Chains A and B, each alone.
Chain A
Amino acid sequence: MKKLPMPILLRSLSQLLFFLAFIVLFLRTDYQGQDELFGAVNLIFRIDPLVALAATLATRTFIALLLPALFVLLASLLLGRWFCGWVCPMGTLLDWSHPLLGRHNKPLPPALPRLRYLLLLLILVGALFGLPLVGFFDPFAILVRGLSMAVYPAFALAVEGLFTITYQHGPGWLNALSEPLYQALRASVLPFQQKVFTLALAAAAMLLTLFLLELIQRRFFCRNLCPLGALLGLAARCAPWRIANAQKTCSACGHCSTLCRTGAINEQSQVNPERCVLCLDCLSRCPQQNFRFGHLQNPPTPIAEGLSRRAFVGTALTGITVPFLFAIRPFKKQPNPKLIRPPGALAEAEFLGRCVRCGECMQVCIGNAIHPAFTEAGIEGLFTPRVIPRIGYCEYLCTLCGQVCPTGAIKRLPVEEKKTVVIGRAYIDRNRCLPFAQGVPCLVCEEHCPTPQKAIQYREATVLNNRGQTMTVKQPYVIGDRCIGCGICENKCPLPGRSAILVTSAGESRREVSQWQDGYG
C-alpha cells in the first residue's frame, strides 16, 4: 500500500473520527436507563446551519437549541467548506463508497452546480412562506433517516436472524462461541427491540440515490445538490484561509482539475472556494507542488457562480406562491384524524416549519410508535413523525422524542407535563369489540390503560353470545377527559387485524382551535 501524504492522512483521520462520533451518537439515541438522555445525541442537526436558518425563517423565532450551528457557519467564514471535506458524515460515506463504485466522470452541463443555489434559495424562501423543504435535501436528514428507518433495522434483523439460527439449531460448541458474541453485540450495536417503519423503502431509496449519483460524478450530491454545501460555499466566498495555486510556476498540466473531487479547480488551475472542500488532494498530488493552503491577504476575485437574475426571481416566486396553493387543501382547516403527532409536537403549521424529518424521534422511540408520515400531512409532510398505535404505542412516562428533537418541533416535556398532554383520544368500535359484538369477555384495553384513574372503564352487561347463550360480560367504555391518546389500548387489542379500539387525533392538546370553531360549516 502506498504511503499517504501527511495532509491527506490528517483529513482522512478527521473524517474517520467524526464518522465514528456520528455513529456513537446515533447508537446512543435510545433509552439509556434513565428518563433523561445523557449527551447531545442530536448534535449533528444542531450544528447544521441550514437547518438552523430554515427553522428560524419558518418560525421567525430564535431557536436556542440550534446555537451550535453558528460556530460551523463562523468557521466556514474563515476556512471555507472545510466541514464538507473533514466532518460531514455523508461526505465521508460518499468518499468511502468511491472505490466501490469506480471512477466516473461523465461530461455534464456546466450550469449543473448552480442547482444547489436554486435549491438553497427555494428552501429558504419556502421556509419563510410556509413551504417546508429543508428535510428533503439536507444531507444529514437524508442520512439519519435512511439509517434509522431502513439500514439499522435491517442490519439488526439480519444479525438477529443469524444468531437465532445458531441458537435454535446450532450444536453446543458453536453456541459456546456465538452466544457470548451475540450478547456483546446486543450490549453494543444492536437495538434493544427490532423496529419496523412505514416508509423504510422510501428512506432507503433516498439514501441510496445519493450513492448512485456517485456513478455519474464524484461527490455529485455535494457539488450539485447539497443546499448545506451551498450555504457554506457562500460563506467561503469571503474566507481568508483557502487553497490557492501559485500561478507563476504552473504548467497548466490539468492534473489537478481532474483530480479534484468537487470540481473546484478549473482548467487554469484556479481554485473556486465555493466548491473546494479542503480535501487537500491537490496539495499533495500536484506534480510541481504548486498548491498552498494559507491566509490570503488579497483574495482574488472569486470565480463567479451566482444565479442569473431570472433564475433568482423565478425560484423566489415559486417559494412564495406554492405555499398558498398548499394552504387550500381541506386538511389545513380540519386535521386528518389519523395524523397523531408525538407528545409535545407544536401546532401543525409551526411543527412543519421546524421539523427536519430527520428521524431522530423515530430512532429513539422505545415503543416503535413513531413512524414517517406518507401523505397524511400532505406531500410536504412526507417523513414527518406520526404515531401509529397499532404498530407501537406511546409509553406513558417516556419523554425521549422531545429530548432528541433538534429543532424543538417536538417540545421537551417534563414527565409530569407529558402525562397530561393529549395526542388523541380513543373510541371503541362496538361492531368488533368482543364483549359487545360477540358476548365474549376480553377487557385487555382496560387492563393496559396507563392513566392512574383509568380512562377505560367497564360496566357489566347481560348479552346473548354467538351461540344464543346469555352471558354477563364486562363491556369497556372510554372516558374522554381522562384519555391522552397514548394508544396502548389500540396496540394491545387482541383482535386480529384492525383493533376494536382506535385512537384519532381528536382533542389533541396542540390544536389551538377550540371545539366550537371546528368543522367547515
Chain B
Amino acid sequence: MSIETKMAWRNIWRNPRRTILTICAITFASVLLVFMLSFQFGSYETMINTSVKISTGHLQVRSERYQKKKNIRFVISDPHKIGGLLDTIPEVDAYTFRGQAFALISSKDRSYGTLVTGIEPDREARVSRLKKLVREGNFLTPADNNGAVVGKLLAKNLRVSIGDELTLLGQGRDGSFAATVVRVKGIFSSGLDEFDRSAVQIPLATFQDTFSMGRAVHEIVVIGRSLSDVSAIKARLQADLSALDDRKTLQTFDWQELMPGLRQAIEMDLISGLIFYGLLIIVVAFSILNTFLMAIFERTKEFGVMMAIGTTPRRLTKILLLESMTMTLIGILAGICLGIGVTYYFQVHGIDFAGGSELLSQFGITGRMYPKLSFLSVSIGPFMVLFFTLLAALYPALKVRRLRPVEAMTAI
C-alpha cells in the first residue's frame, strides 16, 4: 500500500459518521438503480416473450409486399424449400407455416368479420403458446380437417361453444369465392383482449383448400433458442434467402419489425426511465459534492501544513481523489451486492401488482412481475453513479491546488 492510499484510507475514517452517510447515499442510489433496471428489463422480456409466443414468433419470413399490405395474393409459394434452409441453422428452435385471410365467420345467429389463420397443429404447438392457452376443448391435431380453435371473446360474441358449427366466407387467392364449414374444437384465452376477440385458427391444409392457396403460405414463423439468437438467425437466413430467391421478394422480419409498437413502447419506457435515474443521480451527486467540499474546507490548515513541508499539489489532488474514489467504490460495491440480493429475492418470488392487473394483462403480463438480473442491468446504474460522483469529486480535488501554504495555514 502506497503512502497516498494509506493516507486516503485513514483520512476518510477520521469522520466516520460523515463517511458512512456519504457511502449510504451512494449505496442507496446503486441499489435502487440495480433493482429498477432489472425490473424494467425483466418486464420487457416478459412482454416480448408473451407477444412472440402468442403470435409473431421471433422472426418471420414473408413476401416483402405482404409485410406492407396484408393481401392474400402475396404468398410464399414454396415454403418447404425455406423449411429446408431453416433445418440447417442450429440456432433455430422451431418453425411453422401459417396462412392468413380475412373472412366472414357466421354461427347460427351471429356473424363477425375477422382474420382466419391456417396453422400446422403439431409444429404450431412448438412455436406458440396457443396449445397451452386452450381453456375449453382441445387444440387441433394433424388428423383434424374441419376443426377450429377460437378466442374466448370471439366465441362469446358468436355465442358458440365446443362442437358448434362455424361458416367461413371469404375470397380465395385467385379472387374466387371461398367457403367452408368448421367445428369449434377448442376455445383459448390469452389475456390479450385484442387477440381473444379476433383469432380463429384452422388447420393449414383446410385453409389452403378453402382459399385456393395450393401449397403456398403467407408466413414462416421462426422461434430461436433464445431472444439473443435472433439477429444471428436473421443474418444467416437473409443471406440464404437472397441466394435462393433471385427476385428477392422474400424477406426476414424480426419481432421488432413485426411489432414496431412494442419496440417503441420499450424505447419510450427506457428513455423515461433514464431521465428519472439521471435526475436521481444528479440529486445524489449534489448531496455528495457537499461532503467532498466540506472535507476540504475543514482541512485547509492541514493542507497548508502538508504543502509547506513539501507535498506537491499533484499529490494532494491524488490523495483527495483516492479518498472520494474509495468512498464511492465502497458505496457502489455495497449497492451492487445489496441490489443483487433484493432483486434476486423478487426474481424468485415475483412482485404482486394487484391494483394494475387489468392494465398489465394488456401488455401480456399476468399477475406477478419478475425482475431479471443481467450483467447490463447490474452494471449500468452503478456505473452512472460512479461517473457522476467522480465528476462531483473533481471540483474540490482540483480546487485544492490553488491553495497557498502560508494563507492556508492561518485559516481556521
Say if A and B assemble together: no
